Amino acid sequence: MNQTLELYQRAVSLGLRLEPRGGDKLAVIPGNRCPKDFADVLREHKRELLALLESPSAGLRPDEIPWLHVARQVLAGEFVGCDSSTRESLTIGLRSIPHPLCHCALEWLQSGTMRQT
């Protein structure tokens, strides 16, 4: 799995939210809950994380833009344990959206990470 996606998922599992702020800044919310060693790793991979998180709609059709929110939901684990029909619907919806966030969510869907054991 993509290292940037793994970092994003680790942040989510720690109860953190990552957001782009003002150009080249990465906000970690709440910052006081981020372990120092993980903060250092996030700094090292800031550029890749910003590319993943930034959601410029330039070039996306109006019907594609809502899929960015769905991709964030997938990556945050909101569909873990969903049935195969839902997983297939998400896959169909995300696979044609030309955005890195959607590509990462699709990769996660296809990796089997969403399936509960």
Q: Where are the domains of the chain?
A: 1-54, 58-117
Give 27 or 57, the one with higher predicted confidence: 27
The model's pLDDT over 88-116, given as tens digits with 9 standing for 90+, comes to 999 999 999 888 788 888 888 887 655 44
Euclidean distance between CA atoms 9 and 13, whole angstroms: 6
Amino acid at 27: A
Euclidean distance between CA atoms 19 and 83, whole angstroms: 29
Tell which residue, 32, 40, 1, has the closest CA to residue 14: 32
Give, in order, the Cα–Cα distances in Å from 98 to each of 18, 81, 87, 93: 21, 26, 19, 11
The model's pLDDT over 33-70, given as tens digits with 9 standing for 90+, comes to 999 999 999 999 999 888 877 756 656 788 888 898 89
Structure confidence at residue 107 (pLDDT) = 85
Give 117 or 58, the one with higher predicted confidence: 58
User: How many Cβ atoms are within 10 Å of 90's Cβ, its own excluded?
Assistant: 22
| Sign of the torsion formed by the C-alpha atoms of 82, 86, 88 and 89 | negative
pLDDT at 117 over 50: no
Angle between helix axes 46-53 and 100-111 (nearest 10 degrees) is 90
